[in-house]
Amino acid sequence: MSVPLRPPALLTAPLLVLVLLLTGCVSSGSVKAPVGAPGQGAAGPESDAASLLRSSPSTEAVPSPAEIPGLGPRMRAEIPDDARQAFVVTGEDEDANRSSAVLYSREDPAEGWVAVAGPWDAHNGMQGWTDYHVAGDLRSPKGVYSLTDAGGRLPDPGARLPYDEHPRFAVDGEGFYGEPLEGSFDYVVAINYNRIEGVTPLDRDRPLGLERGGGIWIHVDHGGPTQGCVSIPEERMEELLRALDPEMDPVIVMGDAETLGR
């Protein structure tokens, strides 16, 4: 006679856990960490890189140094790296003889260019501007030119540039609109177009030849267009002479607005 088999005794709870562990039924992937545990968010686990970025302090963008308004990349590239003053003369258009002038400085390279004087009303050549100035064309040469020498009929008003006081700066006659020219050269700053630097503005040497013109100055405005120079009111000339500093390698940036913006 067969004896019925007895069902095995139920395993105790601790023994059951041990068996499950030994047989590998509980894998690490089947245990879920509670939301809010380290490395977990509402959307699930984060990668190590994402967690690091989230916990790292944010860095603020450093602003670029300020550029001179209205100047495009080509014109900005013509300004020498060591120039820390720029007198920008912007003509209304290529054939216009009215313009506006602003003096910029960049004492702090990280800050960039800052307007320190102007805008001032100005005149330029009667026929406007040109890329290729020749004697008698009544146009002002476009471009970037250094400013190293000053002078005038009147005594030095406190210029930092070398100043040549001389009676030969006297002028008379009438301008294009019949306005008197007397006093126009009471104060001048030579623009280093077709001239030798470091000499009086009265010097007549022309390295590019006489046919390319010369004697292009910043001078006192007489109320009308010029032969090719840039002119600003007398009180502004005095201010400019006191501001231009040879240790800051000043330049003039001049031309019509469209050209300067390229």
pLDDT score for 53: 45
Residue 147 included in any domain: yes
Residue 126 included in any domain: yes
pLDDT score for 166: 98
- What's the pLDDT tens digit per position in 218-256? 999 999 999 999 999 999 999 999 999 999 999 999 999
Q: Is the pLDDT of residue 48 over 90?
A: no
Cβ burial, residue 248 (10 Å; 0-12/13-18/19+):
middle
What letter does residue 125 receive in the DSSP assignment? B
Q: Distance between CA atoms of 230 and 101, rounded to whole angstroms?
A: 9
- What's the pLDDT tens digit per position in 53-95? 454 555 566 678 999 999 999 999 999 999 999 999 999 999 9
| Residue 227 Cα to chain centre, angstroms | 30
Six token digits for residue 222? 């007489």
pLDDT band at 197 (very low <50, low <70, confident <90, very high): very high
DSSP annotation string for 147-211: ---EEESSPP-S-SS-EEE-GGG---SB-TTS-B-TTTTSSEEE--SSS-TTS-TT----TT-GG
Q: Distance between CA atoms of 163 and 151, rounded to whole angstroms?
A: 4
Residue 7 included in any domain: no
Q: Distance between CA atoms of 259 and 107, rounded to whole angstroms?
A: 26
Over residues 207-216, the mean pLDDT reads 98
Residue of 123, 133, 222, 229 marked catalytic:
229
Residue 28 included in any domain: no
Q: Is the pLDDT of residue 198 over 50?
A: yes
Report strand pairing: 188-190 vs 163-165.
unpaired
**What's the total number of domains in the chain?**
1
Residue 54 included in any domain: no
pLDDT score for 28: 38
- What's the pLDDT tens digit per position in 141-185? 999 999 999 999 999 999 999 999 999 999 999 999 999 999 999
Point out the least confidently predicted range of 24-28, 93-97, 110-114, 216-220: 24-28
Domain that holds residue 236: 91-260
Percent of the chain exceeding pLDDT 70 equals 76
- What's the pLDDT tens digit per position in 113-122? 999 999 999 9
- Residue 219 known to be catalytic: yes
State the DSSP H helix or E strand holding residue 7, giving kind and residue range, or none if neither.
Answer: none
| Size (the chain), residues | 262
Residue 189 included in any domain: yes
- Residue 133 known to be catalytic: no
Residue 159 included in any domain: yes
- The CATH number linked to 148 is 2.40.440
Residue 15 included in any domain: no
